[in-house]
Structure formats: structure tokens, C-alpha cells
């Protein structure tokens, strides 16, 4: 049985149903398909919507979370919300009613926001990949390029360009009647024929899937060469021996060990988390992209309903799983989620002396670190209680800072 809703995420290449001709006898979806589709789509979209909303709230309401990298993650969360609502929720009505129920305006609007969410998510992933590359491989330039204000400008530019690009779908989409022997159904389909549509699709496929993945592969390869082949000491005992003395205006001594191993470990963890996001983006979009490419060369498109459901679920899962990744791989996000849900103890805000000492240290060690903006962000992932750091600072001897080196965890 063919897919009857003609929603733009599944049957982009099937143009035979666009003709107002008798298509035989229509049969409804099976009960098993309806139950599986409604349950799985509702579950994935529900979890994804809640998770992405939490990511947005956490970054916007927590001061130390407002960093360039997290700004791109907010952009990605907004795009994923758009995909889940504009593509996921209509799939439920598709399974229940077997036809398009949102009318002409709904067809144009939902189609537009589907592609806007998909393309904006791809651009957001590309943006934070480039940002990671600059921050890690070119730390001096990162002081000027990887700033919060610049990240906001890039995000606004990304959304402006993708919004304009996706306007074309308003002129390519329309509602069509599917005339069967026993019923007439409404679908949301494309105005153009298959021969005219394919160049548009392959351009979209190349710009928002192939090129971002090629760029991500190259840049993460260069990042890995710096992070994992960098001759920094992996043992904290080794790095604790590297102490320098710097005098503040008050004449107090602060140990400003580079803490190179912990800094590198933190950067590795953040980079791993973002790399996982990119890998899952590639894998979960692959079934759908492969299906459309294969159907482009077939006389009769392959539209098995269960396989189409699988492709859809992969797309929705891609938009829903990112908050789970952040929670699993970032202590900072995990603590912020708990605080937002009031599920864990309230943490005391970091005193000014704590962040100042760390920022000063990283400037001294810019050859091995990143810009202060990134350093303070990633150091939040290190398991170091604030009171422990302060207590250690107070007890630090004036004559020999190295004596307290083993107590410093940050």
C-alpha cells in the first residue's frame, strides 16, 4: 500500500499520485501499523520536545552556560524542535486518518518548517564543528573569532539564509486529490514533475548533507591530531610539577600551573560529545537519504509503509537524541538539567576569585589551551568542588606553591 499523506519527509520522488486519476481500490493502514506508528512517534517526539526545550532553558537561564559552543547547541535544539513538530506530529494524523488533514495553508507552512528545521540543524552542526576546529587548532585566533557575540551573529546569519532558501518550497508544494475507486483523499504533494524536482533535491542533498559531513570528517580529523597526538602529559602528577609564580596587585602568590592534562582531557570530552552528535546525524539520516536516492533511479518508487516508518523514526530520533547525549557526556549539562528540574542539590555560584584565577592561568598557557571563553566553559566538566579549590588556595604557602599542587584538581 502506498503512502497516502505524501508528506515531504518520505515520498519526495513519488509523482505518480500527483495525477488526478483513478488509483484502484484504497485500503487503510493496518491496525498494527497505526498502533506502532502512533506510539513510537509520540514517544520519540515527546521526549525530544521536552529535552530540546530543556537545553534551550538551561543555556538561557544559566549564566556560565552562555558560551559560543552552547549557542550553537541552542540553535540546533530550536531546529530539532521544528523538525519534531512540523514533521513528527503530522505523522500521527497520517497514521490515524490516512490522508492530509491540515489543508492548503497547513501544507505550505508545514512543508516550509520541515525543510527549515532540517537545513538549519545541518548548518548549526557545521557551525559548531568549525568553531571547535578554530578553538582547538588555532587558540590564538579563537580569542577573537570564537566569541559569544560572533556566535550569535553567525547563528542569525544561518537562520536568515536558510529561511530565505526554504521559501522556494512554498511555491513547490500544493494539496492534491487522490482519486480511488472507493474514496477521494487529500494529499500534500509537489507541483513540479519528477524531472524538475530531482535537481532541486540533489542540490539540497549535497549542500545540507554531503558537504557538511565531508567538512566535519576533515576538521574532526585535524582536531583529533591535536587532542590525541598532542605530547601533553596524561598523568596529573606530571602536570602538577609545572608550576609558575605570578604576583597579583595585592602581592599574593597564586599557583598558575597550566593543568595541561586536565584541560586537554576536558577539551577531548567536549569534542567527543560534539563528534557523537555529528556521527548520529550522519547515521540516522542515511536510511531516508538512501531511499530517496534509490527511488530517483527507479521507475516505480519503493514505498513500503513499514520501511518508510523506519526512515521517519530515524529522522525523529536524530532530533530527539541530542539532549540525551549532552546529559550522558557532559557533567556541566547534567548538573544544569538537575538544577532546572530541582532534582539535585543547589550548587553555590562560583566566586569571582575562582574564575579569575582560572582565566589568568589559561592566558598564560595559551599555547596548549583555548580562548578563556572556551576554557572556563569546558573546565566546568572537571569534577572539582568550589569549596575544595578555595580551601586549597587559602592554604597555599607563599614560599613554595608546589607543595599544595597535589590538592589542586582544577
The helix/strand/coil state of 163 is helix
Name the E strands within 216-275: 245-247, 253-255
The size of the chain, in residues, is 410
What pLDDT score does 39 carry?
96
Instruction: Render 88-105 in DSSP notation, one character per residue.
Output: IHHHHHHHHHSS--SHHH
Per-residue pLDDT, averaged over 246-260, amounts to 46
What pLDDT score does 346 carry?
52
Distance from C-alpha of 237 to C-alpha of 46, rounded to nearest angstrom = 46
CA geometry: angle 353, 357, 359, nearest 5 deg: 120
What pLDDT score does 263 carry?
66
The helix/strand/coil state of 185 is strand
Distance from C-alpha of 203 to C-alpha of 212, rounded to nearest angstrom = 13
- List the single range of 270-284, 305-319, 350-364 with lowest mean pLDDT: 350-364
What pLDDT score does 302 carry?
87
What pLDDT score does 23 carry?
60
What pLDDT score does 63 carry?
87
Phi-psi region of 251 (alpha: psi -120 to 50; beta: other; left: phi over 0): left
Residue 187 has pLDDT above 60, yes or no: yes
What pLDDT score does 158 carry?
97
Q: How far is CA 57 from CA 61, 68, 254, 358, in A?
A: 6, 16, 36, 26
Distance from C-alpha of 148 to C-alpha of 65, rounded to nearest angstrom = 11
CB 320 within 8 A of CB 45: yes
Distance from C-alpha of 213 to C-alpha of 275, rounded to nearest angstrom = 11
Residue 238 has pLDDT above 80, yes or no: no
Look at residue 371 and tell me if it is in a domain. no
Structural domain count of the chain: 1
What pLDDT score does 199 carry?
86
Look at residue 245 and tell me if it is in a domain. no
Name the E strands within 123-193: 173-179, 184-190
Q: Which three cell numbers stand for residue 10?
A: 518520505
CB 132 within 8 A of CB 223: yes
Helices (runs of H) and strands (runs of E) counted in the chain: 17, 4
Please indicate whether residue 265 or residue 40 has the higher confidence score (pLDDT): 40
In which domain, by residue range, is 26 found?
16-240+263-353
Residue 185 has pLDDT above 80, yes or no: yes
Percent of the chain with pLDDT over 70: 68
Residue 400 has pLDDT above 50, yes or no: no
What pLDDT score does 271 carry?
87
What pLDDT score does 262 carry?
66
Residue 331 has pLDDT above 70, yes or no: yes
- pLDDT range class, residue 322, cuts 50, 70, 90: very high
Residue 12 has pLDDT above 80, yes or no: no
Q: Which three cell numbers stand for residue 394?
A: 587559602
- pLDDT range class, residue 261, cuts 50, 70, 90: low
Question: For residue 146, what are the contacts with CB-CB under 8 A and spacing of at least 6?
Answer: 68, 131, 134, 135, 370, 371, 373, 374
The residue written with cell numbers 613554595 in the block is 400
CA diameter of the chain: 94
Question: For residue 62, what are the contacts with CB-CB under 8 A and spacing of at least 6?
Answer: 336, 339
What pLDDT score does 330 carry?
87
Distance from C-alpha of 77 to C-alpha of 31, rounded to nearest angstrom = 33
What pLDDT score does 401 carry?
37
Residue 156 has pLDDT above 90, yes or no: yes
- List the single range of 18-27, 141-150, 385-394 with lowest mean pLDDT: 385-394
Look at residue 297 and tell me if it is in a domain. yes
Residue 116 has pLDDT above 80, yes or no: yes
Per-residue pLDDT, averaged over 166-186, amounts to 87
Q: What's the whole-number average pLDDT of the chain?
A: 76
Distance from C-alpha of 213 to C-alpha of 282, rounded to nearest angstrom = 7
Per-residue pLDDT, averaged over 343-372, amounts to 41
Distance from C-alpha of 292 to C-alpha of 8, rounded to nearest angstrom = 11
What pLDDT score does 301 carry?
83
Residue 405 has pLDDT above 60, yes or no: no
What pLDDT score does 174 carry?
92
* C-beta atoms surrounding 22 within 10 Å: 10
Per-residue pLDDT, averaged over 147-163, amounts to 96
Residue 251 has pLDDT above 50, yes or no: no
Residue 91 has pLDDT above 80, yes or no: yes
CA geometry: angle 188, 191, 194, nearest 5 deg: 105
Residue 65 has pLDDT above 70, yes or no: yes
With 0-12 / 13-18 / 19 or more C-beta atoms within 10 angstroms meaning exposed / middle / buried, residue 66 is middle
Per-residue pLDDT, averaged over 114-125, amounts to 96
Percent of the chain with pLDDT over 90: 46
What pLDDT score does 228 carry?
78
Report the b/e string of 169-208 with b at 16+ CB within 10 A.
beebbbbbebeeeeeebbbbbbebebeebbeebeebbeeb
Strand partners, 173: 190
Look at residue 163 and tell me if it is in a domain. yes
Per-residue pLDDT, averaged over 257-262, amounts to 55
What pLDDT score does 210 carry?
96
Helix axis angle for 148-165 and 103-137, nearest 10°, is: 150
Look at residue 189 and tell me if it is in a domain. yes
Look at residue 40 and tell me if it is in a domain. yes
Please indicate whether residue 93 or residue 387 has the higher confidence score (pLDDT): 93
Please indicate whether residue 300 or residue 387 has the higher confidence score (pLDDT): 300
Distance from C-alpha of 254 to C-alpha of 248, rounded to nearest angstrom = 8
Look at residue 396 and tell me if it is in a domain. no
Per-residue pLDDT, averaged over 192-205, amounts to 84
Distance from C-alpha of 233 to C-alpha of 262, rounded to nearest angstrom = 9
CATH number, domain containing residue 198: 1.20.1070.10
Instruction: Kindly report the pTM of this predicted structure.
Output: 0.75
Distance from C-alpha of 119 to C-alpha of 410, rounded to nearest angstrom = 39
Strand partners, 234: none
Look at residue 215 and tell me if it is in a domain. yes
Amino acid at each position: 500500500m502506498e503512502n497516502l499523506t505524501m508528506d515531504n519527509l518520505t515520498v519526495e520522488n513519488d509523482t505518480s499520485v500527483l495525477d488526478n486519476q483513478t488509483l484502484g481500490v484504497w485500503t487503510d493502514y493496518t491496525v498494527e501499523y497505526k498502533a506502532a506508528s502512533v506510539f513510537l512517534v509520540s514517544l520519540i517526539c515527546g521526549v525530544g520536545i521536552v529535552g530540546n526545550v530543556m537545553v534551550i532553558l538551561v543555556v538561557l537561564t544559566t549564566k556560565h552556560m552562555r558560551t559560543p559552543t552552547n549557542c550553537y547547541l541552542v540553535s540546533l535544539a530550536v531546529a530539532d524542535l521544528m523538525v519534531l513538530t512540523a514533521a513528527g506530529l503530522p505523522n500521527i494524523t497520517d497514521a490515524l486518518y490516512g490522508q492530509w488533514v491540515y489543508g492548503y495553508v497547513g501544507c505550505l507552512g508545514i512543508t516550509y518548517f520541515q525543510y527549515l528545521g532540517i537545513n538549519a540543524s545541518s548548518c548549526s552542526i557545521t557551525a559548531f564543528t568549525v568553531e571547535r576546529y578554530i578553538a582547538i587548532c588555532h587558540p590564538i585566533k579563537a580569542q577573537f573569532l570564537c566569541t559569544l557575540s560572533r556566535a550569535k551573529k553567525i547563528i542569525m546569519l544561518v537562520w536568515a539564509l536558510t529561511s530565505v532558501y526554504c521559501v522556494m518550497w512554498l511555491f513547490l508544494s500544493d494539496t492534491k486529490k487522490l482519486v480511488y475507486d472507493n474514496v477521494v483523499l487529500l494529499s500534500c504533494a509537489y507541483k513540479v514533475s519528477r524531472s524538475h524536482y530531482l535537481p532541486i533535491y540533489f542540490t539540497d542533498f549535497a549542500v545540507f548533507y554531503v558537504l557538511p559531513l565531508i567538512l566535519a570528517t576533515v576538521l574532526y580529523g585535524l582536531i583529533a591530531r591535536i587532542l590525541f597526538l598532542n605530547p601533553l602529559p596524561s598523568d596529573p602528577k606530571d602536570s602538577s610539577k609545572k608550576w609558575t609564580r605570578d604576583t597579583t596587585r595585592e602581592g599574593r602568590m597564586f599557583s598558575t600551573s597550566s593543568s595541561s592534562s586536565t584541560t586537554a582531557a576536558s577539551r577531548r570530552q567536549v569534542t567527543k560529545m560534539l563528534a557523537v552528535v555529528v556521527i548520529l546525524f550522519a547515521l540516522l539520516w542515511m536510511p531516508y537519504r538512501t531511499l530517496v536516492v534509490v527511488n530517483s533511479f527507479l521507475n516505480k518508487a519503493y514505498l513500503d509503509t513499514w520501511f518508510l516508518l523506519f526512515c521517519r523514526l530515524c529522522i525523529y530520533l536524530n532530533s530527539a537524541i541530542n539532549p540525551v547525549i549532552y546529559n550522558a557526556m557532559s557533567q556541566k549539562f547534567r548538573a544544569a538539567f538537575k538544577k532546572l528540574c530541582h532534582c539535585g542539590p543547589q550548587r553555590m555560584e562560583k566566586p569571582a576569585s575562582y574564575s579569575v584565577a582560572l582565566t589568568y592561568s589559561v592566558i598564560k598557557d595559551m599555547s596548549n589551551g583555548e580562548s578563556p571563553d572556551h576554557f572556563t566553559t569546558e573546565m566546568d566538566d572537571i569534577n572539582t568542588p568550589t569549596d575544595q579549590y578555595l580551601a586549597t588556595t587559602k592554604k597555599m604557602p607563599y614560599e613554595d606553591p608546589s607543595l599544595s599542587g597535589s590538592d589542586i584538581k582544577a
